[in-house]
Chains A and B, each alone.
Chain A
Amino acid sequence: MVLLLDEEACTGCMLCVLGCAIARTGEADAGRSRIRVYAGGEEGRFVPLTCQQCEEAFCAEACPTKACHREDETGIVVIDEERCIGCRTCIVACPFGAPSFDEVAGVTVKCDCCDGDPQCVKLCEPGAISFVAVDESSLRKRRDVALRRLQPAARTRAERIRAQEARCRA
């Protein structure tokens, strides 16, 4: 299972960020959240970013103490805080900048999908974050494309998003 992020649906409400921070650090501290939302470009545009759980995980490969490793059972890449020495090599290695250094804890942290029960998904109202099987991730995208072709009426982005929201709720 992986987190699938959809920037077209993201409204920039930051509830994922805050929910993650409170659940994982006990503080409403956006800077220590495992998921981030960035605003930029035109007014009102947001991009959510978190660990992509890469198959070839540079972070795990780069980690000198193997604190950063893939869990066999779930296939999710996690950082073992006990073994992490806070060297930040994984941050450099990650093409997405997904791991971040937690100054308070003194270790590097990254999204570990909350042991299979991600808090961010629960709080994401517009359905911009979903927790899906790995093969499902591309399936969804394809379904969106197909739907757009099948429904010539659903042309505008707004309509597409509304259709998408309806599907998420269903």
Chain B
Amino acid sequence: MTYLYGGTILWVDLTTGTTSIRSTLDYAEKYIGGRGINARLMYDAIGPDTDPLGPDNVIVFGTGPLSGTAFPGCSRADVMSKSPVTGLLGDANIGGDWAAELKYAGYDHVVLTGRAEHPVYLRIRNDLVELRDAGELWGQTTYETRRLIQDELDDPEAKVLSIGPAGENLVSFATIHGSVGNAAARTGMGAVLGSKNVKALVVRGTKGIPVADPEAFLEACKAAHDQVKGADYYEEVHTIGVTNAEYAYVLSGIEAGGDGHEGLDFDPEGRTDYNAFWNKHGYKRTGCMGCPVHCMENYSVPGVGATVISCELYTQLTWEVQNADMLLWYALIRQCQEMGIDNTSMALTIQWLMELHALGIIDASLTDGIAMEWGSKEAITAIMDRTIANEGFGAVLAGGMKATAEYFDAHVPEERRGGRSTYWYAMQVNNNPMYGINPRLTSMSLSYAIGRRSDCIQDLDMHQFDSVTAPVYPGWSEEDRAHAVEHERELAYELTGKERAGDPDTTEGKADIVHDMGIQTGIADMAGSCKWHTKWLFLYLMPEHYAAALSAGLGRTVTPEDVERASLRVRNVERAIEVKMGRRRENDTIPEKEFSKPVSRGHMKGKHGVSREDLERMKDEYYTLRGWDLRTGVPRHQTLVDCGLKDIADDLAELGLGLEPFELDAGGADLGAGEKETAPSARQGRRPGT
């Protein structure tokens, strides 16, 4: 019996309308599931010549062994494809209720290949798999699509992932939207689906997920729930979400921190007070399936409607673009969800335009006559509408920042651009608009640079982050704040064994922490649960908790080391994919203009800043930990072999990659794979294959 897994991977060839299946167990032991198996499937499916929006691209939806069970945050599906934004591996993760339903139907992964001739939606009901006509649905919002499909199938329990008009219009940063405010938002997965003429994936399953030892499994789940609920940060994130933290990021000057944001005074009346908005319009807190945290807010605003909002969304279409009108913000977020467009990319793109406008580099003649004044409601709404419709100047923006910069550069004389490309002013990594958090802190710059999605959020070093934000944390006493900083320092020291690892103004130990965070979040992504429950957000599920639940559920022993090793293995598979797409050490970087710049406002004003040398030093350390070549950033042949990825190692070797001779890094550490521990903590410094 296939415990915990749905059991099959479903391939759907959209061009021919045929399907095939394969057992998940072929991959399960090595890659666990979710992001892990997705990465392996992607490695075998795409190449450097794959056109992200062509029929040769594939898109994979993957759940993990814990998806759909009672494990905390067991709601996640991982979506991978070649990204139309970065041209590298695209990856987005979505919660809600879809992943569990897919498993109840008996599948772990769905792979879509080819391109449908006309708009269709994929409908799965247990063993029934069909492509149904979506002609009537084309052009509908994501909310409406769900309702229409449920009506058509006469099944209100059908779970729907769908794209909105932005995905249909091939806006490069379009999203795939699910239920309760969830979206696979980053790296343009919605555009890929749109290019394949697929409007939605609709699932209904009535099978169960067998559990080897139900009693022990439920105990393991409860222990994990207790661990999450017992965590220090739980109470706050559970009652007010991450809004307080977000506000602290803004106050400390490390969020919403482009050059255009030198002052906080765009909102002297405090109109962006999030708590006031919540108290006026909030209905209740909500969240995804299986989650004890419920990090999301459910609102109902008369005249606009209800929606669910989470997390960082608060700072982007407010602070980033200097919009103090919270009702406008709410309407824009709802529009992003309905139209299926990434709020982060949209906000950071608008912020870039406004900054260029403020610097006198562009004027209204280049932007369809829209004056990109800071905070202008007309500018924000008009740009968003046009981008979603892929019309006029919006058609330029829909191509992404790089394409937009090329358009500007062709129309603006060089001296007006300060002798630089307008791309230089864009907050992006590998053409992916960055999160609001600026990279002027050491570990922040490293996680942005090496991040597999070209944003920092996966490997974010929360220790440094909180050391910086704690001193201005709303609602805390001075004592609490001082204590929090001290606590972060201790944790960072515990993890790395390096004295100053928790200090914000050093590069010491940052590579170790970023490396460790990558392992921890990877485990959650593979298991099909939410990475928020790892220590990444201080909710502290450790590899032991995943291993215990997997062991009880699968009926075979899975050790914490097993899951950590799998996480390292998967990261190497992903890196190998990116390397094949052309990513090298020089692509692991942050915007040039952000180097050696202190934080520009807030209580940290004038402090920090990361020099190019700082970043390069941290990259050396990080590559060493990962077993990647220092000169090129390619995983070493031996590293891949040690990870059990001999076929990938040989594949890269055939391309002449990963075979560079060993060399000494700046610190003199020996890079011979597996020869010695490079970090004092066994857990954190464990090398692939050791």
Q: Is the CB of B208 within 8 A of A31?
A: yes
How far, in whole Å, are A73 and B40 apart by their CA atoms in the complex?
A: 57
Q: Is the CB of B206 within 8 A of A31?
A: yes
How far, in whole Å, are A165 and B229 apart by their CA atoms in the complex?
A: 14
Min Cβ gap B59→A in Å is 25
Min Cβ gap B253→A in Å is 30
Q: Is the CB of A42 within 8 A of B68?
A: no
Given contacts A9-B284, A29-B209, A165-B239, contact A14 B289 (CB under 8 A): yes
How far, in whole Å, are A156 and B209 apart by their CA atoms in the complex?
A: 40
Given contacts A28-B208, A42-B300, A42-B306, contact A12 B229 (CB under 8 A): no
Of B214, B238, B280, B290, which one neighbours A26 at CB under 8 angstroms? Answer: B214
Whether A61 sits at the interface, judged by CB under 8 Å, is: no
Q: Is the CB of B69 within 8 A of A22?
A: yes
Please report which residues of chain B, range 91-129, place their CB below 8 angstroms from some CB of chain A when the two chains form the complex: 97, 100, 104
Given contacts A12-B180, A28-B208, A29-B104, contact A157 B283 (CB under 8 A): yes
Q: Is the CB of B143 within 8 A of A13?
A: no
Q: Is the CB of B291 within 8 A of A13?
A: yes
Given contacts A22-B211, A31-B104, A156-B280, contact A42 B229 (CB under 8 A): no
Residues of chain A with a CB closer than 8 A to B500's CB: none
Q: Is the CB of B214 within 8 A of A22?
A: yes
Residues of chain B with a CB closer than 8 A to A45's CB: 298, 306
How far, in whole Å, are A156 and B69 apart by their CA atoms in the complex?
A: 34
Q: Which of B217-225, B574-582, B646-654, B655-663 contacts its partner?
A: B217-225
How far, in whole Å, are A39 and B147 apart by their CA atoms in the complex?
A: 12
Residues of chain B with a CB closer than 8 A to A9's CB: 284
Select the residue from B239, B278, B279, B307 with max chain A CB neighbours within 10 A. Answer: B279
Residues of chain A with a CB closer than 8 A to B206's CB: 31, 103
Whether B156 sits at the interface, judged by CB under 8 Å, is: yes
Whether A94 sits at the interface, judged by CB under 8 Å, is: no
Residues of chain A with a CB closer than 8 A to B100's CB: 14, 30
Q: Is the CB of A28 within 8 A of B284?
A: no
Whether A99 sits at the interface, judged by CB under 8 Å, is: no
Select the residue from B208, B218, B282 with max chain A CB neighbours within 10 A. Answer: B208
How far, in whole Å, are A151 and B608 apart by their CA atoms in the complex?
A: 47
Q: How many residues on the A side are at the interface (Cβ–Cβ under 8 A)? A: 42
Q: Is the CB of A25 within 8 A of B208?
A: yes
How far, in whole Å, are A45 and B156 apart by their CA atoms in the complex?
A: 14
Whether A162 sits at the interface, judged by CB under 8 Å, is: yes
Per-position binary interface string of chain A over residues 144-164, scored 1 when its CB falls under 8 Å from any chain B CB and 0 otherwise: 000000000000111101100
Whether B442 sits at the interface, judged by CB under 8 Å, is: no
Q: Is the CB of B208 within 8 A of A15?
A: no
Size class of B's contact patch?
Answer: 35 or more
Of A13, A21, A123, which one neighbours B208 at CB under 8 angstroms? Answer: A21
How far, in whole Å, are A132 and B211 apart by their CA atoms in the complex?
A: 31
Whether B207 sits at the interface, judged by CB under 8 Å, is: yes
Residues of chain A with a CB closer than 8 A to B104's CB: 29-31
Please report which residues of chain A, range 1-37, place their CB below 8 angstroms from some CB of chain B when the two chains form the complex: 8-9, 11-15, 18-19, 21-23, 25-32
Whether A83 sits at the interface, judged by CB under 8 Å, is: no
Given contacts A22-B69, A22-B218, contact A27 B282 (CB under 8 A): no
Q: Closest residue to A159 on the B side, CB-wise?
A: B279
Q: Is the interface of A mostly helix, strand, loop or mixed?
A: mixed
Q: Is the CB of A13 within 8 A of B287?
A: yes
Select the residue from B181, B238, B287 with max chain A CB neighbours within 10 A. Answer: B287
Residues of chain B with a CB closer than 8 A to A42's CB: 300, 305-306
Min Cβ gap A166→B in Å is 9
Q: Is the CB of B294 within 8 A of A13?
A: yes
Q: Is the CB of B294 within 8 A of A44?
A: no
Q: Is the CB of A156 within 8 A of B284?
A: no
Whether B42 sits at the interface, judged by CB under 8 Å, is: no
Q: Is the CB of B209 within 8 A of A27?
A: yes
Q: Is the CB of A29 within 8 A of B70?
A: no
Of A22, A46, A161, which one neighbours B70 at CB under 8 angstroms? Answer: A22
Please report which residues of chain B, range 386-422, place their CB below 8 angstroms from some CB of chain A when the two chains form the complex: none
Whether B318 sits at the interface, judged by CB under 8 Å, is: no
Whether B292 sits at the interface, judged by CB under 8 Å, is: yes
Please report which residues of chain B, range 49-74, place their CB below 8 angstroms from some CB of chain A when the two chains form the complex: 68-70, 74
Per-position binary interface string of chain A over residues 111-130, scored 1 when its CB falls under 8 Å from any chain B CB and 0 otherwise: 00000000100110110000
Q: Is the CB of A18 within 8 A of B70?
A: yes
How far, in whole Å, are A42 and B305 apart by their CA atoms in the complex?
A: 8
Q: Is the CB of B283 within 8 A of A162?
A: no
Q: Is the CB of B306 within 8 A of A43?
A: yes
Q: Is the CB of A28 within 8 A of B229?
A: no
Q: Is the CB of B70 within 8 A of A28?
A: yes
How far, in whole Å, are A39 and B182 apart by their CA atoms in the complex?
A: 15
Residues of chain A with a CB closer than 8 A to B519's CB: none
Q: Closest residue to A32 on the B side, CB-wise?
A: B208
Residues of chain B with a CB closer than 8 A to A46's CB: 286
Min Cβ gap B157→A in Å is 8
Whether B179 sits at the interface, judged by CB under 8 Å, is: yes
Residues of chain A with a CB closer than 8 A to B208's CB: 21, 25, 27-29, 31-32, 104
Residues of chain B with a CB closer than 8 A to A25's CB: 208
Residues of chain B with a CB closer than 8 A to A22's CB: 69-70, 211, 214, 217-218, 221
Given contacts A43-B307, A126-B285, contact A158 B180 (CB under 8 A): no
Of B70, B210, B296, which one neighbours A15 at CB under 8 angstroms? Answer: B70
Residues of chain B at the chain A interface (Cβ within 8 Å): 68-70, 74, 97, 100, 104, 143, 156, 179-181, 206-211, 214, 217-218, 221-222, 225, 229, 238-239, 278-280, 282-292, 294, 296, 298, 300, 305-308
Q: 10 smallest A-B Cβ distances: which pairs? A: A29-B208, A27-B208, A158-B282, A42-B306, A44-B298, A125-B292, A28-B209, A26-B214, A18-B70, A44-B308
A-B contact pairs, 30 of them (CB 8 A): A13-B287, A13-B291, A14-B97, A15-B225, A15-B292, A22-B69, A22-B70, A22-B217, A26-B210, A26-B211, A26-B214, A27-B208, A27-B210, A28-B69, A29-B209, A30-B100, A31-B104, A31-B206, A32-B208, A43-B180, A44-B306, A44-B307, A45-B306, A125-B225, A126-B285, A157-B284, A158-B278, A158-B283, A158-B285, A165-B239
Additional pairs, 17, CB under 8 Å, beyond known A13-B287, A28-B68, A158-B284 = A8-B284, A11-B286, A12-B180, A14-B97, A14-B289, A22-B214, A28-B209, A29-B207, A29-B208, A38-B156, A43-B305, A43-B306, A44-B308, A122-B222, A156-B280, A158-B278, A159-B279
